Amino acid sequence: MTGDDKLPSLEELERSIKKAKERISEKENGQTNSGGAMRVSIDLLSGVIVGSLVGYYLDKWLGTLPLFFIICFFLGVAGSGLNIYRSAQRDNKKNS
């Protein structure tokens, strides 16, 4: 082989590194978000259900209807809001 093979210039190296980085990030971006269309409604509903059930059975055990039921209902709503916030945060982290 004739010895006229120039080493790749710094700009060419930078370009190929950037292309490789884009390829890697594109592969990771092929994931859909964790929920999609019915994410918010189903997460909200499940928080309400869990809160109501826990509150109701706690009340039946302690005999203090409806105090714990109301408290746990609102805690369940807050919990479902936290779940929705976390899954939205996760999707933003994946897409950015």
CB of 16 to another protein, least distance (A): 24
Q: What is the DSSP letter of 8?
A: P
The distance from CA 9 to its chain's CA centroid, rounded to whole angstroms, is 42
CB of 29 to another protein, least distance (A): 10
- Please tell me whether residue 90 binds another protein under the rule CB under 8 A: yes
Cis-peptide, bond into residue 8, ω within 30° of zero: no
- Please tell me whether residue 75 binds another protein under the rule CB under 8 A: yes
- Helix boundaries (H) for the chain: 10-28, 39-62, 67-95
- Please tell me whether residue 76 binds another protein under the rule CB under 8 A: yes
Q: Which H or E run includes 10? A: helix 10-28
- Please tell me whether residue 51 binds another protein under the rule CB under 8 A: yes
CB of 45 to another protein, least distance (A): 7
Whether the Cβ atoms of residue 78 and residue 38 lie closer than 8 Å to each other: no
Positions touching another protein (CB under 8 A) are 28, 31-32, 34-36, 38, 42-43, 45-47, 49-51, 54, 72, 75-76, 78-80, 82-83, 86, 90
